[in-house]
Amino acid sequence: MDKPKLLVMDDEAMFGNFVEDVASGLGYEVMALTEPGKFTDAFEAFRPDTVILDMVMPEFDGTEITRWLANEKFAGKLIIVTGYNPQYSKIAKTLGELGGLHNVVRLSKPVRLEELRSVLKV
C-alpha cells in the first residue's frame, strides 16, 4: 500500500519541519514548502491526499490557494492553520466548503502535538 501524501504550505520553515516530523512518524510521505508561488506546481507533481495550509503568507494568502484547490476539485483533506484571528480560518473553511471541498479542518497556531496527530490520523 502506498503511503498517504501530505503537502505542507507554510512560510515558516520551523512549522513545516514540525509537521513533517509528526506526519512522517504517522506514515506520511511529506513535502513541505515555504514559498507560496511554488504551491500549484508542487501540488500537481506530488498529488497529495492531505494539504496543510497557512492562511497568512507573503505573495498569496490562504484563501487564494483554497479557491484554487476548490477549482481543482481537490477531494482530500484540507487543514487550514493560522496564528491570527480564528475568524480568518473560519472564512477560508466556509469558502472551501462552498467551493466543493468536503473535508476541511481548522487549527490555530500554536498547534499542539496531540491535536496535529489527531487530524492527521489515517
The pLDDT of residue 103: 93
User: Residue 77's domain spans which residues?
Assistant: 5-120
Rg for the chain, CA atoms, rounded: 13
Domains identified in the chain, total number: 1
pLDDT score, position 1 = 65
Write down the pLDDT at residue 47. Answer: 97
Q: Supply the pLDDT for residue 82.
A: 87
N residues, the chain: 122
Segment-wise mean pLDDT, segments of 10 residues, the chain, 122 residues: 93 96 97 95 98 87 89 95 75 79 91 96 80
The CATH number of whichever domain residue 43 belongs to comes to: 3.40.50.2300
DSSP state of 109: S
